[in-house]
Amino acid sequence: MLFDCAEGTQRQLMRSSVGLPDLEEIFISHYHADHYLGLPGMLKTFALRGRDLPITIYGPRGLADLFGSLRRVFGKLTYPYELVELQPGDVLDRGEYRIVTYKVDHGVPALGPVRAASSVDAR
């Protein structure tokens, strides 16, 4: 999973020992450009590599509107994606841990950073 996708994220991942993994989830904390401008390029690179695994992209209210605009940039993708708009207090249970969103006063709808806690601690 990836939290925010700034411009240059793809390049830095490819330069690292991690490489560009077939991410299953991307979380966008808010819609200031420096937190999502790397997303269209990364999504398109996945498509050019022939990805067919689905991906889920999470973000605060407005994610569907953002993707309506970004679709003109990344075009048709070779894999399914799901957009999930989160609200403060939403909990995503991942078995060994839970992701809990909380409101951030940042001038735009913001949930970030999303924090992760062990499911034992979060109960």
Q: Mind telling me the catalytic residues?
A: 34
Q: Which of 4, 1, 40, 26 is nearest to 83 (CA)?
A: 26
**Which phi-psi region, left, alpha or beta, contains residue 49 (left: φ > 0; alpha: ψ -120 to 50)?**
alpha
90/35 Cα distance (integer angstroms): 20
Q: How many CB atoms lie within 10 A of CB 99?
A: 20
Q: Which of 41, 58, 55, 39 is nearest to 110 (CA)?
A: 58
